[in-house]
Amino acid sequence: MAAAEAEAAGPLRRALFVLAVLALLLVAAPAAEAWTGEIRGHVVCDVCGDAAIGPEDHVLEGAEVAVLCITRSGEVINYQAFTNSKGVYIVGETMPESDRWESCLARPISSFHQHCTKRGDTHSGVKFTYSKPSGNSHTVKTFLYKPANAPLYCS
């Protein structure tokens, strides 16, 4: 009986050995290194239209911002973001290091605030090189909207 058991165990040992080698190869194989980037900014209602953020100004919730990024591989990625209750928008992505963002353009699209819908600055967007290491955030300058007519106290 012992000889029969030894013969039956031979193929099983070989199969276990092959599985162990495959598992070792999968663990040791180099994986693509992940990279995470984040772009954030603010949108504010410049109540007096003076291009300076002051106590009379307030953040805009729900403002739409577009962010276009070109990756190292040449792909163009378009993101759409909306500001939260603090006037902050955030765009983030995790991708292979070889496809990370190289340069981006952030631009305001619209404000849904009933009194503050006119673009307050003359820039149509902000272009920047994204050179931050993985896990870091790039902050874009604040985008301003202003009312069609400034209140009398601004004069």
Residue 113 within any structural domain of the chain: yes
Q: In 3-state terms, what secondary structure has residue 54? A: coil
Taking 3-state DSSP, the helix, strand and coil percentages for the chain, each rounded to the nearest 5, stand at 20, 40, 40
The CA distance from 147 to 142, in Å, is 17
Task: Band the pLDDT of 8: cuts 50, 70, 90.
Answer: low
For residue 119, give the amino acid letter: R
101 domain residue, yes or no: yes
- The answer to whether residue 49 sits within a structural domain is yes
Q: Domain for residue 103, yes or no?
A: yes
Whole-structure pTM value: 0.76
User: Whole domain around residue 63: which residue ranges?
Assistant: 33-144
Q: How many other C-beta atoms can be found within 10 angstroms of the C-beta atom of residue 135?
A: 10
The residue ranking higher by pLDDT, 7 or 13, is 13
The domain total for the chain is: 1
Helix (H), strand (E) at residue 34: strand 34-45
Which tokens belong to 63? 């403002």
Give the mean pLDDT of 136-140.
95
CATH number at residue 130: 2.60.40.10
- Specify whether the CB–CB gap between 54 and 44 falls below 8 A: no
Q: Does 6 score more than 80 pLDDT? A: no
